[in-house]
Amino acid sequence: MKTVGNILLALLLAMAVSWPTAAQRYSVGTDGIGWMSLGAVNADASIAVGRHASLHAGAALNPWTYYRQDPDRQMQARQMNFWGGIRWWPWHVYSGWWAGLDVQYRVYNVGGMWGKRETEEADTYGGHLWGGYSMMLSEHWNLDIGVGAWGGWKKYTVYSCPICGDPLEQGSKMFILPDARLAIQLIF
């Protein structure tokens, strides 16, 4: 994981220092709100397919378990997340307002947070509808802000604590959740 992080950082730095002055058609970025979710490493990339459209794909990984030695305090928001979709830019790709549509697969195990011991483990399949604004910070950097909702179907198991193997509830159901994004992006 460390190696992947280093490569990504080196790539970002190389792009930021210098880039040919052709049209900018690609972006890579990472979402700050994702990192706040107990340090989920995340990255996304995109390619412009026209003045008004771009294709996006990304992944997030959170393998971390906190307070593993103390069963009463252990918490985790482990997940593996993959998504891909399209964005529509009314003015121009990577500039200004946008609306997006993604499909997403997520598997997670989240529990022990907010004073609750229940832990949920699930496989989710769904779609993501959102919109936002890409603020141009400089020639190569954007601040990408977005809000939306993602929803779909999930197959889940709820355990009474993060380390318990005793399921309280099991099943599958539809869900819909709000989502937000505050990402820094390199445009090249």
Based on the shown chain and the rule CB under 8 A, indicate whether residue 92 belongs to the binding site for another protein: yes
Based on the shown chain and the rule CB under 8 A, indicate whether residue 51 belongs to the binding site for another protein: yes
Based on the shown chain and the rule CB under 8 A, indicate whether residue 187 belongs to the binding site for another protein: yes
- Answer for which of 3, 17, 18, 23 binds another protein (CB under 8 A) is 23
How many angstroms separate the CA atoms of 142 and 144, rounded?
6
Please identify, among the stretches 20-28, 36-44, 55-63, 150-158, the one whose residues bind another protein according to the rule CB under 8 A. 20-28
Spatial CB neighbours of 181, under 8 Å, sequence gap ≥ 6: 31, 33, 130, 132, 144, 145, 146, 147, 148
Based on the shown chain and the rule CB under 8 A, indicate whether residue 1 belongs to the binding site for another protein: no
Nearest distance, CB of residue 140 and another protein, angstroms: 8
CB 179 within 8 A of CB 148: yes
Nearest distance, CB of residue 48 and another protein, angstroms: 8
Based on the shown chain and the rule CB under 8 A, indicate whether residue 3 belongs to the binding site for another protein: no
How many angstroms separate the CA atoms of 37 and 92, rounded?
31
- Answer for which of 94, 108, 150, 159 binds another protein (CB under 8 A) is 94
Nearest distance, CB of residue 16 and another protein, angstroms: 14
Based on the shown chain and the rule CB under 8 A, indicate whether residue 95 belongs to the binding site for another protein: yes
β-strand partners of 61: 41, 80
Nearest distance, CB of residue 93 and another protein, angstroms: 8
Based on the shown chain and the rule CB under 8 A, indicate whether residue 91 belongs to the binding site for another protein: yes
Spatial CB neighbours of 160, under 8 Å, sequence gap ≥ 6: 117, 118, 119, 166, 168
- Answer for which of 115, 138, 165, 174 binds another protein (CB under 8 A) is 138
Q: Which residues bind another protein (CB under 8 A)?
A: 21-25, 50-51, 91-95, 136-140, 187
